[in-house]
Chain A
């Protein structure tokens, strides 16, 4: 498969535990913040987004938290499963397109 993220920071968790992936962003003017999941050899898959006027948003098994004071974004995955193993990217949007962070590899141990 595609060698995405050879030197990425790695988060290793046990199956069933909760995972928290963090991201620092740079643009205070960004309107939206988005989390993507990328499996080896595939394109990124949209997980969840949050608008800049919110501080928390929940989806199915996932929660995104936004702290604009310190420009910090986090993705919480509840009851992590083996299928959650992937590289996770945060991205920010101000108008034209997306600016991506460098990613975190999540490894789920059985």
Chain B
């Protein structure tokens, strides 16, 4: 059963702690993406990666970091430098050069108090 998995669905952290969100795909896609979604807004791009060991900043990368050591995995770390980390985080993937056809995971809701 192919797809994108994100875990956990809900995550709670104290302010000042770093937290890593998981994203795994078995679609054999080269490109992977992280988006942030706030209530009443569309998705905003945090980071994307088109190939293993390479990634690029999106529109709102400050306070976040990523790694791409394996094709299947693209974890996102929300650092303590992110001023407003509470949000719904969505991971997506696509074949290379086909960013117009992205497949999304179920999302992780992060709450920082």
Contact = CB atoms under 8 A, between A and B. Distances in A.
A35 B37 CA distance: 16
A42 B48 contact: no
A100 B44 contact: yes
Interface string B33-57: 1010101111111001000000010
B43 A98 contact: yes
A7 B88 CA distance: 16
11 contacts: A4-B88, A5-B39, A5-B40, A8-B40, A42-B106, A49-B101, A89-B43, A91-B42, A91-B43, A100-B35, A102-B40
A98 B100 contact: yes
Interface in A79-110: 89, 91, 93, 95-103
Contact of A43 (B39, B48, B90, B99): B90
Interface residues of B, number: 28
Interface in B46-93: 48, 56, 58, 88, 90, 92
Given A34-B100, A49-B101, A101 B42 contact: yes
Contacts of B105: 43
A99 B43 CA distance: 8
A89 B58 contact: no
Given A32-B100, A43-B90, A2 B107 contact: yes
Contact of B102 (A7, A98, A101): A98
Contacts of B104: 36, 43-45
B29 interface: no
Nearest to A95: B99
B107 A43 contact: yes
Given A41-B106, A42-B107, A103-B42, 15 more contacts: A2-B107, A4-B37, A5-B40, A31-B100, A32-B100, A36-B104, A43-B4, A43-B105, A43-B106, A45-B104, A46-B103, A91-B42, A97-B99, A98-B100, A102-B41
